[in-house]
Structure 1
Amino acid sequence: MKTTAEHWRKNLQLTQHVEGGSFRETYRSPLTIEREALPEGFAGARNASTGIYFLLEDGDFSAFHRIAADEMWHFYDGQPLHIYEIKPNGSLHVHRLGRDIAQGEQLQLVIPAGSWFASSVEETGGFALVGCTVAPGFDFADFELAERGALCRLFPQHAGLIALLTRS
């Protein structure tokens, strides 16, 4: 049976994500890390780790955003997911999350804390089902959705890409 985005959305009970795509949290560690033990950038205690399913389809994108923790991505099904990472120094790295290792795709990758990143499926009609693990755990207090003009002023060399992968 060929799986579809709708199959995954329904069977995994995914809902709309603010950055684009669909998701569902699958894990939130009961272990917490106190604020004093965390690096700068965290406003309070955090769960040690969190995990989600994330589904993205062609025609939609995950808008540029950044978080205060490292985020590990895991590929599950569908077509390759292109993840665009702008490091704090302005360098752009395009990661391809997928199964074809011989073509430079990766089954897992890590976006370090503080990098701006966005993603899209570039195969017409395609989708990607992935997972994301964040440590210390994800909290919306640590989430920053990019504002197009501000990000373009920071990284004018990537203005075209930023315009494509931001919503405002």
Structure 2
Amino acid sequence: MPQSSHPASTPSPRARQLIEQLQLQPHPEGGWYREVFRSTGQVLPQDGRPARSALTSIYFLLETAQHSRWHRVLSDEVWVHLEGAPLELWTWDAADSRLHGAVLGPVGAATIPQHVIAAGLWQAARPSAGDGAGYTLVACMVGPGFDFADFRMMAPGGSEALRITSDHPQLAHLI
């Protein structure tokens, strides 16, 4: 599993407080996380995967200079903005190269508080620049529950990465 890369810069005081208070650890896609709920109930996905917890939930924090690298999960995922800078969230459908963007934040003209990503879509995220908060804190819920066996990072130099770079060069740095 790839290692998380964290910039050399010092986190903002509030980000540092959240990392410590919420006991967050580095995430392989970038940023910081901690699982806070894993349902004891099991479900059997209809796509042939073995039984999974019905639902999982994590805290996920990105500092301003960090991003969530392009990855996909084989279950539906709900992102909910909790605090800090708005979060730019993209999904990409490799089947038709369709790109969709959403900005998570408090309810506003350009922001929504939550967004659902359908199972199997590529996704990437980063805090909005210029907010000054120094971080974004979100909650992510996955159902059927998250399992690293259902998680795949986009391989640099792979066919998906080459297509993102060609079709959406402004987002290639998130690979």
TM-score by length of 2: 0.85
Structure 1 residue 160: deviation in Å?
4.1
Tell me whether 1:86 sits opposite 2:92 in the alignment: yes
**Of the candidates 19, 27, 48, which is equivalent to residue 29 of structure 2?**
19
1:110-142 C-alpha deviation (Å, 9 max, x unpaired): 011111011111325521000000000000000
| Counterpart in the other structure of 1:9 | 19
State the 4+ residue runs in structure 1 displaced beyond 6 angstroms: none
| Counterpart in the other structure of 1:32 | 42
Cα distance in 2 for partners of 1:77, 1:152 equals: 31
Aligned runs of 1:36-55 on 2, under 5 Å?
38-40=45-47, 43-55=49-61
Unaligned runs of 5+ in 2: 1-11
SS at structure 2 position matched to 1:66: strand
| Counterpart in the other structure of 1:123 | 129
| Counterpart in the other structure of 2:7 | none
Instruction: Please say if residues 43 and 141 of structure 1, whose CA atoms lie closer than 8 Å, have aligned partners that are also in contact.
Output: no
- Fraction of identical pairs, as percent: 38
Distance 1:3 1:100, change over 3 A: farther
Structure 1 residue 43: deviation in Å?
2.9
Structure 1 residue 159: deviation in Å?
3.9
Aligned runs of 1:17-166 on 2, under 5 Å?
17-34=27-44, 38-40=45-47, 43-88=49-94, 89-102=96-109, 104-124=110-130, 126-150=134-158, 151-155=160-164, 156-162=166-172, 164-166=173-175
For 2:105, give the aligned amino acid.
Answer: G
1:76-121 C-alpha deviation (Å, 9 max, x unpaired): 110101011112321111110101422x211111011111011111
